[in-house]
Amino acid sequence: RLKGYGKKGPHACHSGHVHVIGAGVMGGDIAAWCALKGLTVTLQDQDRGRIAAAQGRASALFARKKRDPREARAAADRLLPDPKGDGIRRADLVIEAITEDADIKRRLYAQIEPLLKPGAILATNTSSLSLETLRAGLQAPQRLIGLHFFNPVARMPLVEVVETAEMDPGVKAAAYAFVGQIDKLPLPVQSTPGFLVNAVLAPYMLEAMRCVDEGIKPETIDAAMLAFGMPMGPIELIDTVGLDIARDAGRQLSGAASMPACLETRLARKQLGRKSGQGFYPWKNDKPVKQG
């Protein structure tokens, strides 16, 4: 628990209705989590298949062991598929979790801003774009805030709250209240590359791969860091995040054009980690298969 940032925000519950745009890996799971925590959630995506897949994952989350079936049903009832985005007009908070591309995000904001309720907050889950870049073009740029969730949403307690000096203090307060309301831990960060967590993680992961290039087995590196006290070894973490994402983040945050050879050779073979079934480790039943 981080000192000074309690689970409850400074203001009481603010958001009754959350609208999530983008039902991919992150948006779908953010929507499910918010519904589980009692909020009404509308979930929009340009691809109806992604909404259906997200609902499937949400059902599995809601039905987890020890959960009262009535609670699971109520959560499922609160998660509403909304391919056309009708929920935007009613939402207290709109969370954007679409493709990581500034132009695509800005185009979406221009379309939806006139539809937002007065006082509604617009949040982005971007992991690498600056808020200054994203809010250019908004009529009310002070209502954009970053809410950076981590993958997998249901297991990761931290949410980075990305602030800028120009931000409306009411927006900030409501964002902290929302993060507390869904039982996550808000961490205030500035709009700088990698925010805080990824800025620290990127060199750690790159250094672990440089050890692989020097001939140390992935299993040895992971075992060492587990013994040190990390909850997961860095190489397994790279497999979990995805080797393509690790490369993009590594390039952006280190400024180096060339990445470790062990990463490039696997990417050339389309070995992306857990999501493709093979990365530094082969994956079976969602678990890495380690030697010795």
By annotation, the residues acting in catalysis are 148
Question: With CB under 6 A as the contact rule, which of the stretches 87-95, 122-130, 137-145, 252-260 interacts with ligand NAI?
Answer: 122-130
Is residue 86 a contact point for ligand NAI (CB under 6 A)? Answer: no
Nearest distance from C-beta of residue 113 to ligand NAI, angstroms: 14
Other beta carbons within 10 angstroms of residue 83's beta carbon come to 16
Please give the Cα distance from 195 to 134 (Å, whole number).
Answer: 15
Is residue 46 a contact point for ligand NAI (CB under 6 A)? Answer: yes
Is residue 88 a contact point for ligand NAI (CB under 6 A)? Answer: no
Nearest distance from C-beta of residue 104 to ligand NAI, angstroms: 6
Phi, psi (5° rounding) for residue 140?
-125, 75
Nearest distance from C-beta of residue 205 to ligand NAI, angstroms: 13
Question: With CB under 6 A as the contact rule, which of the stretches 97-105, 139-147, 182-190, 205-213 interacts with ligand NAI?
Answer: 97-105
Question: With CB under 6 A as the contact rule, which of the stretches 25-33, 170-178, 223-231, 284-292 interacts with ligand NAI?
Answer: 25-33
Nearest distance from C-beta of residue 47 to ligand NAI, angstroms: 4
CB closer to ligand NAI out of 44 and 271: 44
CB closer to ligand NAI out of 27 and 218: 27
Nearest distance from C-beta of residue 144 to ligand NAI, angstroms: 13
CB closer to ligand NAI out of 95 and 225: 95
Which parts of 223-282 interact with ligand NAI (CB under 6 A)? none
CB closer to ligand NAI out of 62 and 149: 149
CB closer to ligand NAI out of 23 and 39: 23
* 161 close to 2: Cβ distance less than 8 angstroms: no
The 3-class secondary structure across the chain, one letter per residue, is CCCCCCCCCCCCCCCCEEEEECCCHHHHHHHHHHHHCCCEEEEECCCHHHHHHHHHHHHHHHCCCCCCHHHHHHHHHHEEECCCCHHHHCCCEEEECCCCCHHHHHHHHHHHHHHCCCCCEEEECCCCCCHHHHHCCCCCHHHEEEEEECCCCCCCCEEEEEECCCCCHHHHHHHHHHHHHCCCEEEEEECCCCCCHHHHHHHHHHHHHHHHHCCCCHHHHHHHHHHHCCCCCHHHHHHHHCHHHHHHHHHHHHCCCCCCHHHHHHHHCCCCEHHHCECCCEEECCEECCCC
CB closer to ligand NAI out of 39 and 54: 54
> Which one, of 191, 135, 132, 125, lies nearest residue 159 by Cα?
125
Please give the Cα distance from 115 to 259 (Å, whole number).
Answer: 43
Which parts of 126-155 interact with ligand NAI (CB under 6 A)? 126-127, 149, 151
Among 20, 26, 36, 263, contact with ligand NAI (rule: CB under 6 A): 26
Nearest distance from C-beta of residue 248 to ligand NAI, angstroms: 9
Binding footprint of ligand NAI on the chain (CB under 6 A): 21-27, 44-47, 50, 97-100, 104, 108, 125-127, 149, 151
